Structure 1
Amino acid sequence: MLSDPATPRFGANYVPSQGWFYSWLDYDPVAARRDLADLAGLGLDHVRVFPVWPWIQPNRAIIREHAIEDLLDVIDAAAEHGLTVAVDLIQGHLSSFDFLPSWVLTWHRGSLFESETIRDGLTAYVDAVARAVASKPNVFAITLGNEVNNLWPDSSTTPEASTAWAQDLLVTVKKAAPDVLALHSVFDDAWYKPDHPFLPADVVDLGDLSTVHSWVFNGVSRVDGPLGPATLTHADYLVELAAATSLDSSRPVWLQEIGVPGPDIPAHLQAEFTSRTVELVIGNPALWGITWWSSHDIDRRLLDFPDREYDLGLFTVDHQRKPAAQALADAITEIRATGVTHQPAGTLGAPFNPRTDPSRRAELAPGSAFHQAWVEARTTGPVRITLPS
């Protein structure tokens, strides 16, 4: 399932154009196929899809088969358009909203990461959905959930507990779906926040490959603006951090989320940001693939999303291709026509090893002395990060 690193894969995180993820409550197979046709038309080869946990398992003893059938139909629709599929399980967190079943809330409340009762329910859910989607030949990966570390601190945990939680559920995925990639997904606080209970080592040790999410609103766009070198190379920086921190020099890194959030990336610069970011990260030999967030905008009739969430789509809700989408399609066409050249790279030593000293993670964060030194070096070509032993 691991692609040739010389030909990275390209995909999109699938956000339905009609009704956002609420559309799972009233699934429309025709609308899903229209959305997926949009994405196939860009030259993408995969989508990442997000069933919503409480709508499949509303009670700890209930797995709604009809909801799983809707998920399987989306997977079939993707296959009809030549797309392979990665399925995320624990949603969990989506576009600023958290979706948790009632049996983990109110007076039933417990930590998702520490409660044995909740773990039992989650294990049943993970097993059921993983087993079902693994029956589809175009499913290539199952991720535990979308940025599950967003569910802390509302669910208390420690580094030891969060690691054990992910380890146990990945074992469940592998038993249920032995022939697909089993993955763990977190956002970049795991790399940059000293007290964060999800660790860099988990990103690069757990699961079959490493995943990173590159969002410029984490502070990097404040370093030098929408088209500055720190902003344009942030994706490459995260891929480098993951590659350097892994004990396996051949372990691939999936750029699982990247997008053009406003106002950090103004609308008139989003196509250029897309083209230049892809150009700067595509030659990284560790890169497995790029998956854009997201496929479609959110209808502004839906209320209470952060403003930047509404316009992240490659397509509008009425299926119009946006400038970033065209830039991505053009980049894909060129890369597939010419291939990827891995340029000679310099090296830069990090001041510490995040595997062994995660309390110093702020020294890697955007705007830190090390980050700025890496950005400066990166202006003349690729830069591999090395770590002290």
Structure 2
Amino acid sequence: MALQTVTPRFGANYVPSAGWFYSWLDYDPDAVRRDFADLAGLGLDHVRVFPVWPWIQPNRAILRERAIADLLDTIDAAAEHGLTVAVDLIQGHLSSFDFLPSWMLTWHKASLFEDRTVRDGLATYVDTVARAVATKQNVFAITLGNEVNNLWPDSPTTAESSTAWAQELLTTLKKAAPDVLALHSVFDDAWYSADHPFHPADAVNLGDLTTVHSWVFNGVSRVDGPLGPATLTHADYLIELARATALDPDRPVWLQEIGVPGPDIPVDLQAEFTRRTVGTVLTNPSLYGVTWWSSHDIDRRLLDFPDREYDLGLFTVDHQRKPAAQALADIIADVKANGVRAQEPTTTLTAPANLRTEPSRRPEVAPGSDFHRQWVAARADGPVRIVLP
């Protein structure tokens, strides 16, 4: 088995400890710096931050300079703590809530993905914010948005429209910020759902590298429980699906979101889940980095979130390090001391369908499918490469 030494990146998706993302409405630079001190203490090298689209562009003709200045200060705060920054643009969808500007709602109701007026307004937003954040030396990536495919039920689209939408905005983004990674982010219905209008090919064709989000509440935890092999290897499985689907076998894959959602991963097992899941993906030669969801819990005084969203943080709202955080810090310290020996798989399995050309057959590779179970069984003996027929 071929071995190579790699140094993956480690980071956190930044959820402010005070006020969640509502804190953008009443920005507190000292609170941001206190949060980043927590994260730097774990040995992380980056954060992914989430400005909220309608609060920056409340009218199609208005881009609020104060809101952009607050975002730039957040980036500066990260730099002060030795952290680089990935910026997501279209929020869009966060922790089960959708945030869309009023100029595309009510009697203006239009599809985010298909309406020309909305797309033109959005292109202005992407261009303006990308140009601003690209002036900061510690910004390394800009993603169009957080799981933008969460928005499609209320914004009708087709596979052709969603592809054209992403291509158009990525072109705008790359012109505005040519020296940073330009990325497209989707949640895993794009990989597993038969009729989903965002396709696997887009995840691996569009942008400068592939992003995947591994959440075990998608059904995989029901296959064999919180510490079962299917659950612990789901992130590695997604990385392998992405590698198999890409035309470029060397295209990096960023595990942009992974976490310990309850009740799927009980509190007393979260540290072990973290150690074993992250340990599994670290040896994958396609891995670009691991970014934990999320940095801090949500204050339970805030209402109406799904229960699992409140406790996903590496830290509590009063800055106490949680078991998953300590496990992640231990992994990072070990990697810095000893490096990682990536392992090229010697075993291959052929998927039942070509995800590039037969997206309607995506359920055949979904968690719990015959193919998925076959891959999990083989993975017990070491890394397993997926190939498409």
- TM-score, with structure 2 as normaliser: 0.98
Aligned-residue offset at 1:274: 0.2
The aligned residue for residue 56 of structure 2 is 56
- The reply on whether 1:250 has 2:250 as its aligned counterpart is yes
The aligned residue for residue 99 of structure 1 is 99
> How many angstroms apart in 2 are the aligned matches of 1:137 and 1:363?
44
> How many angstroms apart in 2 are the aligned matches of 1:150 and 1:119?
17
The aligned residue for residue 77 of structure 1 is 77
Residue deviations 1:37-85 (CA, integer Å, cap 9, x gap) = 0000000000000000000000000000000000000000000000000
- What RMSD, in angstroms, separates the aligned Cα atoms of the two structures? 0.8
The aligned residue for residue 238 of structure 2 is 238
Could you say what secondary structure the match of 2:341 adopts? coil
> How many angstroms apart in 1 are the aligned matches of 2:378 and 2:229?
10
Could you say what secondary structure the match of 1:321 adopts? coil
> How many angstroms apart in 2 are the aligned matches of 1:148 and 1:126?
14
The aligned residue for residue 18 of structure 1 is 18
Alignment of 1:323-334 (within 5 A): 323-334=323-334
The aligned residue for residue 306 of structure 1 is 306
> How many angstroms apart in 1 are the aligned matches of 2:278 and 2:353?
28
The aligned residue for residue 27 of structure 2 is 27
Could you say what secondary structure the match of 1:332 adopts? helix
Alignment of 1:147-166 (within 5 A): 147-166=147-166
Could you say what secondary structure the match of 1:152 adopts? helix
Alignment of 1:85-164 (within 5 A): 85-164=85-164
User: Is the contact made by 1:5 and 1:288 (CA closer than 8 Å) also made in structure 2?
Assistant: no
Could you say what secondary structure the match of 2:340 adopts? coil
Could you say what secondary structure the match of 2:191 adopts? helix
**Number of matched pairs:** 385
Alignment of 1:367-386 (within 5 A): 367-386=368-387
Aligned-residue offset at 1:5: 7.6
> How many angstroms apart in 2 are the aligned matches of 1:39 and 1:344?
31
User: Is the contact made by 2:285 and 2:343 (CA closer than 8 Å) also made in structure 1?
Assistant: no
Aligned-residue offset at 1:343: 2.9
Could you say what secondary structure the match of 2:349 adopts? strand
Return 5+ residue gaps in structure 1 as ranges: none
Residue deviations 1:211-269 (CA, integer Å, cap 9, x gap) = 00000000000000000000000000000000110001110000000000000000000
**AA of the residue aligned to 2:264:** D
Residue deviations 1:320-347 (CA, integer Å, cap 9, x gap) = 0000000000011111211111235211
Return 5+ residue gaps in structure 2 as ranges: none
User: Is the contact made by 2:86 and 2:142 (CA closer than 8 Å) also made in structure 1?
Assistant: yes
> What percent of counterpart residues are identical?
81
The aligned residue for residue 347 of structure 1 is 348
The aligned residue for residue 365 of structure 1 is 366
> How many angstroms apart in 1 are the aligned matches of 2:255 and 2:330?
19
> How many angstroms apart in 2 are the aligned matches of 1:343 and 1:181?
26
User: Is the contact made by 2:271 and 2:323 (CA closer than 8 Å) also made in structure 1?
Assistant: yes
> How many angstroms apart in 2 are the aligned matches of 1:201 and 1:337?
37
Could you say what secondary structure the match of 1:77 adopts? helix
Alignment of 1:211-290 (within 5 A): 211-290=211-290
Aligned-residue offset at 1:152: 1.1
**AA of the residue aligned to 2:387:** T
- TM-score, with structure 1 as normaliser: 0.98
